[in-house]
Amino acid sequence: MGKVMRRRVGALLVALVLLLGFQQPGVAQLPDYARRAVELTREYRVIPNVIYHTANNYDTKLDIYTPSDTTRIVPTVMFIHGGSWYGGSKEEDALKLLPYLAMGWAAVNVEFRLKRVSPAPAAVEDCMCALSWVVQHAKQYHFDPKRLVLTGYSSGGHLALTSAMIPPSGEFHRECPDSTTIKVAAVVNWFGITDVAALVRGPNERAWAKNWLAHGSYELAVRISPLTYVRYGGPPVITIHGDADEIVPYTQAVRLHRALDQHKVPNRLVTLHDAHHGGFTPHEFAVAYAAIFDFLRAQGLPTDVRPMPGAPAK
């Protein structure tokens, strides 16, 4: 893990502490945030590297984090890592699940075929398969399919959006055909790509986007763009994006926000002023998560921090 990744993870952890309002320790006591971290290690079981799909002789895997002491279904977040569709890994981003685990949610951390294995649209197809797998195995792992949130950073934000927005009748369900319509409760989009086509042709062209498409056409780029699938009744979306982002233009977030408004889809755009492509400060993360939790509550999802077993009454 490089220095930039360590700074991002550190900022996220500090922001979580600030956001949840943890108190200073008393005499001979652990700080509440440290106590909570200790309890999380006991409260969750981790099931790593579960194969959810095989294509091109490649096994795509996911990790499951589920409360170990529950038989009831719980809200679940499905996380998709970033990396421009050709880098990154689920393991690098595992700590980004912490805000959801602190609320007692289950979590699924997904990998997909990177460009070196298969170019577009393989990643789109894989993540849609992962979503279908989560719903099909909801009973086994106590996932609540009616309280399912998708999230991801950068290209992972793009894949969270496509997984939630592309209808089951679409061409990208060919790897995991399923006629069931899956309606996710919300998408938390961290500076994700919303118009792939705009990144492969025109003034905002990006080499990494063209590289992912390989020999794919401009028309394919349109078909794997979340903006193509905005419609009335679509999933609620909250987007967090820095207006100084030099990698994924901020205009991509603005265009998605306007399209969702036009189709009366619940949504919110959180603009972090002068912020770039991730690497946010603890304050910026705290602002973002405060907005995310407010948005999730508005969709009927619980966001209270799970009580710590054995904690004294306050």
Structural domain includes residue 313: no
**Whole-angstrom Cα distance, residue 291 to residue 67?**
25
Structural domain includes residue 312: no
Total domains in the fold of the chain: 1
Structural domain includes residue 303: no
- Is residue 108 pLDDT above 90, yes or no? yes
Residue 223 near residue 174, CB atoms below 8 Å: no
**Whole-angstrom Cα distance, residue 37 to residue 162?**
33
Q: How far is CA 62 from CA 24, 80, 234, in A?
A: 37, 10, 26
Tokens 């710590």 label which residue? Answer: 308
Query: Model pTM?
Result: 0.89
- Is residue 299 pLDDT above 70, yes or no? yes
Structural domain includes residue 307: no
Domain enclosing residue 202, as ranges: 3-298
Query: What's the DSSP call for residue 173?
Result: G
Structural domain includes residue 304: no
Helices (H), the chain: 3-20, 32-43, 98-101, 122-136, 138-141, 155-165, 197-200, 207-213, 218-223, 250-262, 282-298
**Whole-angstrom Cα distance, residue 102 to residue 105?**
7
Tell me the pLDDT tens digit for each residue of 23-51.
444 445 788 778 877 888 889 999 999 99
Structural domain includes residue 309: no
107 phi, psi to nearest 5 deg: -140, 145
pLDDT at 64: 98
Structural domain includes residue 308: no
Nearest 5 degrees, angle CA 158-CA 162-CA 166? 165
Q: What is the CATH number of the domain that holds 44?
A: 3.40.50.1820
Structural domain includes residue 166: yes
Which positions ≥6 away from 27 have C-beta within 8 Å?
A: none
pLDDT band at 312 (very low <50, low <70, confident <90, very high): very low
Tell me the pLDDT tens digit for each residue of 44-94.
999 999 999 999 999 999 999 999 887 899 999 999 999 999 999 999 999
Give the whole-number percent of the chain exceeding pLDDT 90.
75
**Whole-angstrom Cα distance, residue 289 to residue 305?**
13
